Amino acid sequence: MPELILASTSRYRKELLTRLGIEFRCERPETDESPLPGEAPRELAMRLAVEKARAVAPRHPDALIIGSDQVASCAGERFGKPGNAERAIAQLTAMSGKEVVFDTAIALLDTRNDKLRVLNVPTRVGFRSLSNEEIARYVEREQPFDCAGSAKSEGLGISLLTHIRGDDPNALIGLPLIALCELLREAGFAIP
């Protein structure tokens, strides 16, 4: 059985993959996450998922490598990880009363034969009309500085939403486990 590598340092992705009860290691992918000119959010997420998997591949000639990335967007605007309270407040203000698409891409690279599969799992998230006070309270309590779009649906962020529509509830948190299980089974990895 090949080694399983998660090309990510995201604690959210690590926690989600742990749910499957399989052994894996995490490794930091050194990738530039800047969008290319004119690159759509879906394509950006898919490209970065592949680049993350490929970034760690040279060190693992007998492995299945998982790469994943998420891009949030609304009306042509992208929302990445805010990094601080000011940007989180600006993001949530811009998303207030709107539907935001979270494109979460998953790539599985089999370094034994260089076979690559990549899927995108979109999630549509409706945000309530939020007051400045609600946004400030949420950001102060949740501190969602490491989450695309500043809203942690697995925590207090759920109170900001009107709906979540998608094929995999884990995709919104950062790793679409249903799609990943499909890819792993195709690669001969037994789950469960």
Residues known to be catalytic: 69
Q: For strand 77-79 and strand 63-74, is the pairing parallel, antiparallel, or unpaired? A: antiparallel
Contact 186, 118 (CB under 8 A): no
| Other beta carbons within 10 Å of 88 | 26
Backbone φ and ψ for 41, nearest 5 degrees, come out as -55, -45
Any alpha helices (H) in 113-165, and if so which ranges?
132-142
Whether 179 and 123 have beta carbons less than 8 Å apart is answered as no
